[in-house]
Amino acid sequence: MDAETLNRLLGGDRSRLGEALEQFNKHNAQVFSFSNLTTTGQWMLLWTRMFEFLCEPGMPWLVECLMAIKILSRDKTYLNEAVQAEQLDCLLDLAGIGPESSASVTVAEEVRVEALKCLSNFIFQSRKCQELCLGNTSTEGILRRIKTYKDDNLCYDIRYFDMKVLYLLTAINCDIRRKVRDDLHGLTYLTETLHLFMSQAAEAMEFSDKDVELINEVLKVLFNLADRSAPKGMPEDEEASQFHRLAIVIHDLFFYRTLNRDKIGSLHSNIVNLLTSIPVSCYNELTTPLNGDELENKTCVPFEGRNVFVLSVLVDFLRKHFQKAEKKTEHYELLSPILTVLVKSVGASGLNRRYIRSVILPPLVNVMDRPEVGDELRNHLCSLLTSPCSQIAYLSAELLFVMCKENVGRMIKYTGYGNAAGLFANRGLLGGRQGNTDQYSSDSEDSDTEEYKQIQHAINPVLGCYEPPKPNPLEGMSEEQKEYEAMKLVALMDQLQRARIVQPCKIGEDGRPQPVEHILELQDEIPEQQRDHKRKT
């Protein structure tokens, strides 16, 4: 920025102030660091000067001043020192979310939008600003304006940046989040705002790109408000009714379309994130009874007398992430929310579990390859069972196990014992124990295919696939040679144990592995294993 423009902004001559503001904004439109101004103290002088201009009655260049403040706030070197409560109050008034006494002051929409943009920058960049917003009218003002959305014809930008500011406030400060949800009934108002935006978007059940962007911001605020335990003092039935209402609106949201695939992907991603925070009891709202008119629609997926279209979209969302995942870290971040949602879905009702199982775990046809090899959903989930990311491994195992009705034998059939061993060890299911199968119906859902039955006898339960016969390595050995080889194996395992490379274990009474001090202690397990084998055969 040239010295002449800076002098005009800091000097007393107002004749060319508008031109100087325009030049400053144009020159610094893509600048995010002002080291040349912060080191000389001019950044602070400009900051103070801009707010002096804002407070002048009849200032004709309010938008230009706000744009300059927005640009200056990108550099947070002295932002915490510079921002004052009075400056925030000035921005709140210009944004139309100040005290009720000032809310009736007429301000141009363009000024309101620029003031909201400044506020979003301040909140994102300054911890002091976040603390000040806990005591000012920022949240009350936005919630007050939200209540008028139905009647007031506010422009898209005002509504968008209202949601943006509210999202930042509730994401960064847990006290503000508690205030918005508990004191201002934000969960109720935001749910109805989401429903309002859906109804205003399009009668043809199709969103424009701007519709999706606006709804995404509402979903992110709702996630912040829903992502915690029940608030103190709120009756359980009141909270339950709020979440059930939210689940119904989310169900309807899945039926809207958009021509932009990237936009619909971001929409579904935000919906999935929100669903992770909704109680399992509300997941039954995601399916609806079938009626005759629906059967011909593309958004109808009939299953046992209900439309499970939403569940089909969720399963397809998981499939798409498996198909496009490239980097493992991103893969894990994207998978955790949808796996959580599917785990909650299969636990919500038997119908949900049966439908999702029919898609992910259909009757086995290909048992020639290992369960973790292939492009089917079952293959991808099995590959995650041994993932280094413990959360992903746990969620994948939980989803598969519930779909198998917590039946150990069925889990081994679909995943192989080797892949599922971690789950069995954590749940105390080693040594032939079963999961909590009493909560599931007794009717069997297994229907072995002819391909499976033909080679069932040759399936290796550890690998979970067909294993061709192998020659017996002990064939032709005398008993003395066999004993010699066995003792060599014991000695090698003992060396591995002493070097702490491996830790041999035996199955304890709780069904979990317990370390042994010496490899020969495993001999104690042999009689019990033989009895179990005889009992099963």
CA angle 38, 45, 32 (to 5 degrees): 40
- The amino acid occupying position 144 is R
Domain boundaries along the sequence of the chain = 356-466, 488-536
Q: Could you tell me if 169 and 159 are in contact, meaning their C-beta atoms sit under 8 angstroms apart?
A: no
* CA–CA gap between residue 322 and residue 314 (Å, rounded): 13
Q: How many residues does the chain have?
A: 537
165 touches 119 (CB < 8 A): yes
Q: What is the dihedral of CA 297, 300, 301, 302, to 10 degrees?
A: -100
Residue pair 341/314 in contact by the 8 Å Cβ criterion: yes
Q: What phi and psi values does residue 302 have, to the nearest 5 degrees? A: -75, 140
Give the model's pLDDT for residue 435: 65
Backbone torsion region of residue 457, taken as left when φ is above 0, otherwise alpha when ψ lies between -120 and 50, otherwise beta? alpha
CA distance 268 to 215: 11
pLDDT value, residue 324: 74
Q: How far apart are CA 25 and CA 64, in angstroms?
A: 8
Instruction: Give the other-Cβ count within 10 Å of 211's Cβ.
Output: 20
Q: One digit per residue, pLDDT tens: the chain, 537 residues?
A: 568 888 888 876 777 888 999 999 999 999 899 988 889 889 999 999 999 999 888 889 999 999 999 999 999 999 999 999 999 999 999 999 988 756 556 789 999 999 999 999 999 999 999 999 988 999 999 999 999 998 878 899 999 999 999 999 999 888 899 999 989 999 999 999 999 999 887 767 889 999 999 999 999 999 999 976 444 545 667 778 899 999 999 999 999 988 888 899 999 999 999 999 999 999 999 999 987 666 777 788 999 999 999 999 999 999 998 887 654 555 667 899 999 999 999 999 999 999 999 999 988 887 788 888 888 999 999 999 988 888 999 999 999 999 998 888 888 888 888 888 888 888 877 766 666 666 676 655 666 777 677 777 777 788 887 778 888 888 888 989 989 988 898 888 888 888 888 887 888 777 788 887 776 777 666 555 545 544 444
List the Cα angle 183/187/191 in 5-degree steps.
145
pLDDT score at 527: 56
pLDDT at residue 138, as a whole number = 93
Measured CA to CA in angstroms, residue 361 lies from 163, 443, 530 at distances of 41, 17, 32
At 72 the pLDDT is 95
How far is 425 from 37, CA to CA, in rounded Å? 62
Quick one: three-class SS letters along 224-286? HHHCCCCCCCCCHHHHHHHHHHHHHHHHHHCCCECCCHHHHHHHHHHHHHHHCCCCHHHHHHH
What is the rounded distance in angstroms from the CA atom of residue 50 to the CA atom of residue 110?
A: 17
What confidence score (pLDDT) does residue 186 get? 93
Give the pLDDT score at 287.
94
Per-residue pLDDT, 27:
92
Please give the model's pTM, rounded to 2 decimal places.
0.86
What pLDDT is attached to residue 536? 47
What does the block give as tokens for 280? Answer: 């399992």
